[in-house]
Amino acid sequence: MSGPLRWPVHPAPNDGEALSSWLRRIAGCYGTDIEHLGDDIGYKIDAGDLDDVDLAPPPGMIEVLAERTGVAPARLRQMSVAGSVPWLLDDMEPGPEGFPTYTRQLSVLRPAGKQKARVVPSWRPWLPDRLPARGCPECVAESPSPHPYRLLWAIPIVSSCLAHGCWLEATLAARSYFGMWDFDRPAPSPAPQHVLTLDQRTRDAFAVGHVELPRRRVHAGIWFRLLRTVVDELSCPLSENRPADTGTIRQIWKEAGYPARDGQGLWRPFEQQPETVQRHTMEAAAVTIALLEAGTITGRGCGAHLFLPEPDLELGDGRTPAEFSKSQPDNLKALGQALEEAIQAAREDPAEAQALYAFALIGCRTPESVTRLRADFAELGIPLEILSLTDGQASFA
């Protein structure tokens, strides 16, 4: 390979664009294809299988592309799924411990700790073996060929295009190629508001690292796990739930317009479901959140309250908590402010989270109090996945 020559012409990456899509557009500038572009930078890229590039580019490729284009490596990393580790997923490598760690630490519809244990060998969240080939008909119509492809279209965690308010549609061709649509483009079909609301939150989690819920802001790492927990609760065989929870889950599916569990007989994790079942399940998850927020259903899990509005608290003497706090001596005010700052820092910085957790753990004398502490951290929007999972086995004095 010759030295790191800069490509004199290249399009800037679009907001949210997948890495393979941008490479295809660069190749288009030079009248070549993505395979030849790969040869030029010393990497084999299979045009028929772009998943490798969009999941996790091979080591060194980001740095070479940064040299060739002048685009910052951090920006390029965000164009593949690996750029979202550890928030969207703990690790790109599938593993047997991933499923319970990711989907069972939180709870929304069912009481915590009541789920039947499941072992899913070689699992990672949200990613099917083959990434789906979907797109927004309007976005594609508005863009010149070769049409850019958004990374989120390839992850079944969203179902709609927020810019156009419509469902994503299967492209009927290899992912990132829209040849069929040049002749027969599907008509855009409006997505319901509850789906758009859910997808807006998920987009926010990717774009800004947090989501504003009615009660408080939660970290993206919590949001992705909370959503996958709801998906799990909606997908489990109904006989595994207590009757009251079964009734709620049936009500949600009915409201979504589908049979319970979308009529699936056997249990399989969401990632291994057919695409239509995935879409219906995400729609049911959106209905779940809308019903929780409206107070129509009550979730019995520890995370359900996140979807309730902040209560208008008044103390016995009619003062709000903020007014009460203002009236406190300065040293207590300072303590409260220091704690607030420590919590905010822990939401954003894993090292701060670990330090605060270690400090809070000093007061825990029983396994139950550790469980409570972890629930409190989740409620405060501090990501749990960065905390040591072995502290549950710590010895208690």
Using the Cα atoms of residue 300, residue 304, residue 309 and residue 310 in order, give the sign of their dihedral. Answer: positive
Q: Quick check: 339 binds Zn ion (CB under 5 A)?
A: no
Shortest distance, position 83 Cβ to Zn ion, whole Å: 22
Residues touching Zn ion: how many (CB under 5 A)?
Answer: 6
Number of H helices and number of E strands within the chain?
A: 16, 6
Residue 311, token pair as written in the block: 């209560």
- Residue written as token pair 């300072």: 334
Q: Quick check: 252 binds Zn ion (CB under 5 A)?
A: no
Taking the least distance from each CB to Zn ion, the nearer of 79 and 136 is 136
Q: Are 280 and 311 in contact (CB under 8 A)?
A: no
Q: How far is CA 265 from the centre of its chain?
A: 27
Q: Are 235 and 274 in contact (CB under 8 A)?
A: no
Taking the least distance from each CB to Zn ion, the nearer of 128 and 135 is 135
Helix (H) or strand (E) holding 248: helix 243-256
Taking the least distance from each CB to Zn ion, the nearer of 157 and 218 is 157
Residue 203, token pair as written in the block: 């987009």
Q: Quick check: 190 binds Zn ion (CB under 5 A)?
A: no
Shortest distance, position 134 Cβ to Zn ion, whole Å: 11
Using CA atoms, how far apart are residues 9 and 69, in angstroms rounded to an integer? 8
Length reported for the chain: 397
Taking the least distance from each CB to Zn ion, the nearer of 52 and 138 is 138
Taking the least distance from each CB to Zn ion, the nearer of 161 and 387 is 161
Shortest distance, position 328 Cβ to Zn ion, whole Å: 51
| Cβ count within 10 A of residue 242 | 12
Using CA atoms, how far apart are residues 260 and 210, in angstroms rounded to an integer? 31
Q: Is 95 helix (H, G, I), strand (E, B) or coil?
A: strand
Taking the least distance from each CB to Zn ion, the nearer of 161 and 290 is 161
Taking the least distance from each CB to Zn ion, the nearer of 88 and 136 is 136
Candidates 104, 164, 217, 300: give the one binding Zn ion (CB under 5 A). Answer: 164
Q: Quick check: 14 binds Zn ion (CB under 5 A)?
A: no
Q: Quick check: 161 binds Zn ion (CB under 5 A)?
A: yes
Helix (H) or strand (E) holding 34: helix 34-41
Q: Is 25 helix (H, G, I), strand (E, B) or coil?
A: helix
Shortest distance, position 173 Cβ to Zn ion, whole Å: 18
Q: Quick check: 163 binds Zn ion (CB under 5 A)?
A: yes
Q: Are 208 and 15 in contact (CB under 8 A)?
A: no
Give the footprint of Zn ion on residues 118-157 (CB under 5 A): 136, 138-139
Shortest distance, position 225 Cβ to Zn ion, whole Å: 27
Shortest distance, position 136 Cβ to Zn ion, whole Å: 3
Taking the least distance from each CB to Zn ion, the nearer of 163 and 339 is 163
Binding site for Zn ion (CB under 5 A): 136, 138-139, 161, 163-164
